[in-house]
Amino acid sequence: MDGWTDGAAYLKDAYVENYFMLTVSTFNQLPQDGLQELVDAVGTPEMRAYAAQATTAFGTALNNAADRLEVEYAQRLASRR
């Protein structure tokens, strides 16, 4: 798994940077009062808890998908020998 992780390390940074830029450009289009309303809404303890849970679930799903891909790739590579 370390080879896969090392080989795709740049993807994490690129994903985070692209997501951040998309978020900024989207929210930048809101009027200032609408932006403040959004900030207030997502700053509640419930929304923070939801964001933490959703981030954990998404990360787990991505890691599981990568694990399945690694196993499948190894099996196909072994079958060619």
Give the confidence band of 11 by pLDDT, cuts at 50, 70, 90. confident
The per-residue pLDDT for range 38-65, each reduced to its tens digit, is 889 989 999 999 999 998 998 899 888 8
User: For the chain, how many helices (H) and strands (E)?
Assistant: 4, 0
Please check the confidence at residue 3 and state whether its pLDDT lies above 70: no
Token pair for 25: 């450009």
Quick one: average pLDDT of 13-33?
A: 86
The model's pTM: 0.55
Domain extents for the chain?
A: 1-31, 43-81
Band (pLDDT 50/70/90 cuts) for residue 4 is low
